[in-house]
Structure 1
Amino acid sequence: MKRPLAARVFKMIAVLAALPAIASAHPGHDGGHDLTWDFAGGFQHPIFGLDHLLAMIAVGVWAMQIGGRGRWLIPATFVGVMTLGAAIGTQGVAFPAVEQMIAASLLVFGLMIAMAKRLPIYAGLGLTALFALFHGIAHGAEIPANSNGLSYGLGFVIATVALHSVGLALGKLSASQSSWFAKAAGAGVATVGAVMLVA
């Protein structure tokens, strides 16, 4: 029996997230000069950061709700602008309220999902790009100094694509079952964002 797409993507994420443990089992992997280690560190960054994890899955769910071209344009915009933001973040450019904007992304994306809000495609792309920029800046600023930036960056880009895929699969599943799941999930993500904003 073929497993659902979401289950297969989750399994892939779990395997890739375990790469640092695999790498450290071999001599010469000091975490600073090994490309496998750097890639795995970047891959883990959005997965083990609750704010990034929820936002990236939420983007996929919302994109599926929007439908049409939005199903691929919304995630593609997030990945592209996030990558640009990461490049900016590596340059040490100071941006105000980065953490607050990341928290706001959870609040906004969560509410969009809960209300099944279908914005015009360009408005949706603009909103996605705004928040993706700040997620990217945070990623870039947190790249370890002794890491290979390209390998680390490739890791969090691929993790983002995987998390968007999970969101798309969950969005498709909720659409074929019942809208209560998406509403509850959206409300939960929005609540986490609200708590982070006032914390």
Structure 2
Amino acid sequence: MTRSKSTRIVFVAIMLASACKPALSHIGVGSANSFAAGLAHPLFGLDHMMVMVAVGLWATLRGGRALWGWPVAFLSLMLVGSALGIAGVPVPFVEPVILASIVGLGLLIAAAVDLPVAAGAIMIGFFAFFHGHAHGTEILETAGGLEYVTGIVLATACLHGAGLGLGLLPGQRFRGIVRLAGAATAATGLGLMLGAL
């Protein structure tokens, strides 16, 4: 698949997401002021789990520096977004972009799009920023906020690791399973957009 075609796929996913109702994945998260709450949060949100595992899966399809660069890009930009969310800086379209990240990353995996490492890091970082902002806005201005973010970062890294571990299983059969998982991720994202899930 050409780079321009993959760019169009992601653009279409973003446009679809912006036309749909917001995801409710960040409403009613409960306590956002402890390490345990931060650690649990990504593990109980479908959007979090799918996107964070997808980053690892797509990195294995790309290989090389993407194996560490893309997860690091996600974690870094997620922290930037979290800081702005904590500071109360408004960012538009947070939930639609989170939905678009599910569909977009799923399609990129399903099509085994082979972007340059830097371009993939920019795209992943873009999505991560919005995930981070959503997390940051959940945090109350308490001493527990730092512990909450630490928990989220650790859980996110573990989910990236799960995607990497699954994607690095040997054999072409597993590569096909990774691509199938991408298609399932994209379909789930569309289901969330349409309110079917």
Shorter-chain TM-score tier: 0.7 to 0.9
1:132 aligns with 2:128: yes
Q: Report the alpha carbon displacement of residue 117 of structure 1 after superposing the two structures with TM.
A: 0.9
Say what the alpha-carbon RMSD is for the aligned residues: 1.8
The alignment covers a number of residue pairs equal to 165
Q: Report the alpha carbon displacement of residue 121 of structure 1 after superposing the two structures with TM.
A: 1.2
Structure 1 counterpart of 2:190, one-letter code: A
Gap change, CA 1:70 and 1:99, over 3 Å in 2: same
Give the structure-1-normalised TM-score: 0.78
Alignment-derived partner of residue 102 in structure 1: 98
Instruction: List alignment gaps of at least 5 residues for structure 2.
Output: 1-30
Q: Is the partner of 1:119 in helix, strand or coil?
A: coil
Partner deviation per Cα, 1:162-184 (whole Å, 9 max, x = no partner): 00000000111265543331122
Matches within 5 A, 1:176-187: 177-187=173-183
Write the distance in 2 (CA, Å) between the matches of 1:72 and 1:93.
30
Q: Report the alpha carbon displacement of residue 146 of structure 1 after superposing the two structures with TM.
A: 4.9
Alignment-derived partner of residue 114 in structure 1: 110
Q: Report the alpha carbon displacement of residue 51 of structure 1 after superposing the two structures with TM.
A: 0.3
Partner deviation per Cα, 1:141-168 (whole Å, 9 max, x = no partner): 1124556111111000000000000000
Write the distance in 2 (CA, Å) between the matches of 1:155 and 1:176.
35
Alignment-derived partner of residue 86 in structure 1: 82
CA contact (8 A) 1:174 1:181 kept: no
Alignment-derived partner of residue 21 in structure 1: none
1:189 aligns with 2:185: yes
| 1:165 pairs with one of 152, 156, 161 | 161
Q: Is the partner of 1:178 in helix, strand or coil?
A: helix
Alignment-derived partner of residue 24 in structure 1: none
Higher-Rg member (1/2): 1
Q: How many percent of aligned residue pairs carry the same amino acid?
A: 44
| 1:73 pairs with one of 58, 69, 75 | 69
Q: Report the alpha carbon displacement of residue 46 of structure 1 after superposing the two structures with TM.
A: 0.9
Partner deviation per Cα, 1:56-89 (whole Å, 9 max, x = no partner): 0000011111100010000000001101110111
CA contact (8 A) 2:167 2:174 kept: no
CA contact (8 A) 1:174 1:182 kept: no
Moved >3 Å (runs of 4+) = 144-147, 174-178
Instruction: List alignment gaps of at least 5 residues for structure 1.
Output: 1-30
Gap change, CA 1:175 and 1:52, over 3 Å in 2: farther
Q: Report the alpha carbon displacement of residue 196 of structure 1 after superposing the two structures with TM.
A: 2.2
Structure 1 window deviating more from structure 2 (104-113 vs 142-151): it is 142-151
Gap change, CA 1:175 and 1:156, over 3 Å in 2: farther
Alignment-derived partner of residue 28 in structure 1: none
CA contact (8 A) 1:38 1:151 kept: yes
Structure 2 counterpart of 1:67, one-letter code: G
Structure 1 window deviating more from structure 2 (131-140 vs 88-97): it is 88-97
Give the structure-2-normalised TM-score: 0.78
